[in-house]
Amino acid sequence: MDPDADSERIIRAFFRDGRLVSIPARQGKRLVILRELRERCFAEDRDYREKDVNMRLALVHPDVAALRRYLVDAKLMARSNGISRRMM
């Protein structure tokens, strides 16, 4: 199996018109979606205030708290004192 093709298939299944229609329950699919969100919402390697993180994620999905937590748990973003930053 081609991992890039699998990722593209997952992204197409969970995004409609640039918005995330649901957060995948399966961890593998969720990780693909979280990586895509990081690239779409936090392309620049810089500090993001919590308000900025929430606004960027809200453009994609209403449950910003869950997405923010999943990004940190997956070590795709680091969060400290209300400031988030890309990892990896």
What residues form DSSP beta bridges with 85?
Answer: 47, 78
Percent of the chain with pLDDT strictly greater than 90: 93
Q: Residue 33 pLDDT more than 90? A: yes
Q: Where are the domains of the chain?
A: 3-86
Residue 1 has what pLDDT?
54
Taking the C-alpha atoms of residue 47 and residue 14, their distance in angstroms, rounded to an integer, is: 27
Instruction: Convert the pLDDT of each residue in 59-83 to its tens digit.
Output: 999 999 999 999 999 999 999 999 9
User: CA-to-CA distance for 7 and 2, rounded, in angstroms?
Assistant: 9
